[in-house]
Amino acid sequence: MKYALVTGGSRGIGKAIALKMASLGYQVLINYKSNLSEAQHTLEAIRHAGGDGELLPFDVSDKVKIQEILGGWIEANPEKEIEVLVNNAGIRNDSLLAWMEEDQWTDVINTNLDSFFYVTRLVLHGMITRKYGRIINVVSLSGIKGLAGQTNYSAAKAGVIGATKALAQEVARQGITVNALAPGFIKTDMTEGLDEKELKALIPAKRFGLPEEVAHAAVFFASKDSAYITGQVLSINGGLYT
């Protein structure tokens, strides 16, 4: 059975990607940290559309839980192959660096950057054995351009971009591609506190993007048709920064 694992798959961009992966015929592993009801709604939506999947609760910032739960699932289900990994889970905790608390730095780095290492390393072994895989990392405009007040978030996402480019070179021979999606301002929970009216004026497209628009790009990177594209960062930002 072919699976797609989507971290942070219960809401927003992650939910949209999970639904799209199901439309490709994948069983979807929906990772979430604490919002069980939203994760269940995502799984119900997948089933309503004719697909299926499983819930996989663990905190992506906790390497012990990743090993215990994700590693345990992989060990207990040798017939279930994770063919697509979408590293989507992430958090923001904005502050100017001069006033940033240590936990604001470490929490954001652990959740957005360290999680890439611990989750990807576990899933990668199976991909290498099978000589096929698709790894898609959801990064951010912040990781490319840098945004004031997001030194921690920009550093974490820039780190994932560098890791994407390096890992792509390590595993290309094994039939595994590694690419990144860099959304700009997308209408999700993470952008609810932003001044949308003011920010729209800066965006050439004059609007925020939709989670489904990011999911369409994820589906392309997950497809067999993208086999010769790896180590790339695709910006989805309405022309805000190119």
Residue numbers of the domain that contains 140: 2-236
Q: How confident is the model at residue 38 (pLDDT cuts 50, 70, 90)?
A: very high
Name the helix (H) or strand (E) containing 82: strand 81-87
Q: Based on C-alpha coordinates, what's the Rg of the chain?
A: 17
Mean pLDDT across the chain: 94
- Residue 205 in any domain: the answer is yes
Q: Within a domain: residue 242?
A: no
- Residue 165 inside a domain? The answer is yes
> pLDDT tens digits for 184-207?
999 887 666 667 778 888 889 999
pTM for this predicted structure: 0.94
Dihedral in degrees, nearest 10, Cα atoms 25, 118, 229, 240: 100
What integer pLDDT is reported at residue 242 of this predicted model?
65
The structural domain count of the chain equals 1
Q: Is 153 a catalytic residue?
A: yes
Per-residue pLDDT reduced to its tens digit, 111-164: 999 999 999 999 999 999 999 999 999 999 999 999 999 999 999 999 999 999
Residue 64 counted as domain residue: yes
> Is residue 241 in some structural domain?
no
Residue 142 domain flag: yes
Residue 196 lies in a domain: yes
Helices (H), 10-114: 12-23, 36-48, 63-65, 72-76, 102-109
Task: Out of 132, 153, 228, 241, pick the active-site residue.
Answer: 153
- Cα–Cα distances in angstroms (integers) from residue 74 to residues 23, 31, 89, 128, 225, in the given order: 23, 14, 19, 14, 27
120 in a structural domain: yes
Looking only at the bridges linking them, the beta strands covering 2-6 and 27-32 are parallel
CB 177 within 8 A of CB 227: yes
The CATH number linked to 48 is: 3.40.50.720
